[in-house]
Amino acid sequence: MKFGIFDQNDRGGLELAQQYEQRIRLVQLYDELGFHCYHMSEHHITPLSTTPSQGVFLSALIQRTSRLRFCPLVYLLPVHHPLRLAEEICMLDHLSHGRFEFGIGRGASPHELEALGVDAAAAAAMYAEAFRILEAYFTEESLTFAGRYWSFHDVPVEMRPYQRPHPPLWYALASPDSTVWPAQRGANIVCGGPVARIRAITDRYRAEWAVAHPEGGPLPLIGVNRYIIVAETDREAQALGRAAWPVFYRNFMKLWHKHGTQPVNAKLPPEFDALLESRQAVAGTAETVRAELARQIAEGGLNYLIGSFMFGSLAHADARASVRLFAEQVAPALRAAEVVAA
């Protein structure tokens, strides 16, 4: 069992320079406490993200940490020139001495895509083409590709990733039928949504992975993301969540409300109590959080837990205290439970 972080870096009310510095200090704490990987989203023209250029922010984090791994989750492939993105991946992998991973996706918001000049109806085809180019870049001496959106003829490949053939790959999914492609490629996966639908996804992924990899080997990470607050009392933790969540929810929904639309898959309730009821958030003492997450890990068939520890208007000091309690009083017991269960 490993533990990671997912960060939207949504606007919390501070000046950006102060928010960046506080977030960097929080990431240094993740590094110090032994978390596995820091995952961050890519969003544009929305307060849901104050770090639309993942590479810029991750470059700063790499220089201030020594063990923590880093992973854009995901790169929105339709909005990136694939050759330029391949070069960036190589740079970040070398700058981190092999602590870099990356996820791929086509983008959940048509409004963000269209603001960047991408037809949302073409995003799926652009995503597939861009990934084929990335694969070719990482394995060929020169790049030749004739596509609908990008074409290359005998373009020299002058960079290689630090990790060969490329850094570990991640894929976010929401249904069992989406597991075939990542299982075939041995990609790590992260699931979202209520616990009830996650077990069907993880069971299908394991089955597809076994078919695609009859030789066996280490199973990729199979994770879920949860909003987590740990405090000295259940009441305190839940009060922190209730105060911080409305700011995050407004950030999350602002662009959708502007266009009079709704997210298709990534739906979240406006009230923190409803988020707790759906079990997509866990807030309480270390004992409360430990017990609930142990149940979710067992019910979901998971080997990786990704926590969103900072969101909305949650104060930096409260997030640090929560993260430390999680690392010192929750994570060790969940690891021990896994050993006993094995």
Q: Which of 101, 133, 167 is the last residue of a domain?
A: 167
DSSP per-residue codes, 196-259: HHHHHHHHHHHHHHHHH-TT--PPPPEEEEEEEEE-SSHHHHHHHHHHHHHHHHHHHHHHHHHH
Residue 140 backbone dihedrals phi, psi, to 5 degrees: -110, 160
Mean pLDDT of 3-19: 97
Percent of the chain scoring above 90 in pLDDT: 94
pLDDT category at 342 given cuts 50, 70, 90 is very low
Domain assignment present for residue 211? The answer is: no
**Residue 26 contacts residue 320 (beta carbons within 8 Å):** yes
Same domain, 90 and 143: yes
Same domain, 46 and 83: no
Beta bridge partners of 6: 39
How far lies 25's CA from each of 119, 168, 328, in Å?
Answer: 38, 26, 18
Same domain, 231 and 288: yes
Same domain, 25 and 108: no
Residue 266 has pLDDT above 90, yes or no: no
Same domain, 226 and 320: yes
**Residue 229 contacts residue 237 (beta carbons within 8 Å):** yes
Domain assignment present for residue 295? The answer is: yes
Average pLDDT, the chain: 95
Same domain, 280 and 236: yes
Residue 108 has pLDDT above 70, yes or no: yes
Q: How far is CA 61 from the centre of its chain?
A: 16
Q: Which of 167, 182, 202 is the last residue of a domain?
A: 167
pLDDT category at 338 given cuts 50, 70, 90 is low
Same domain, 84 and 57: no
Domain assignment present for residue 110? The answer is: yes
Same domain, 129 and 230: no
Same domain, 336 and 260: yes
Domain assignment present for residue 178? The answer is: no
Q: What is the pLDDT of residue 195?
A: 80
Residue 194 has pLDDT above 90, yes or no: no
Distance CA 300, CA 221 (A): 13
3-state SS assignment for residue 265: coil
What domain count does the chain have?
2
Same domain, 243 and 162: no
Distance CA 26, CA 15 (A): 17
CATH number of the domain to which 342 belongs: 3.20.20.30
Distance CA 193, CA 281 (A): 10
Domain assignment present for residue 200? The answer is: no
Mean pLDDT of 55-81: 98
Domain assignment present for residue 191? The answer is: no
**Structural domain for 44, as ranges:** 1-66+221-342
Residue 122 has pLDDT above 90, yes or no: yes
Domain assignment present for residue 270? The answer is: yes
Same domain, 81 and 49: no
Which residues lie below 8 Å from residue 95, measured CB to CB, with a gap of 6+? Answer: 59, 62, 63
Same domain, 281 and 255: yes
**Residue 330 contacts residue 230 (beta carbons within 8 Å):** yes
Q: Which of 97, 132, 167 is the last residue of a domain?
A: 167
Distance CA 125, CA 148 (A): 9
3-state SS assignment for residue 97: coil
- Residue 228: name the closest of 7, 11, 41 by CA: 7
Mean pLDDT of 136-141: 96
Domain assignment present for residue 202? The answer is: no
- Could you tell me where the DSSP H helices lie in the chain? 16-33, 54-63, 82-95, 110-115, 123-139, 180-185, 195-212, 234-259, 272-277, 286-300, 316-325, 331-341
Distance CA 8, CA 90 (A): 23
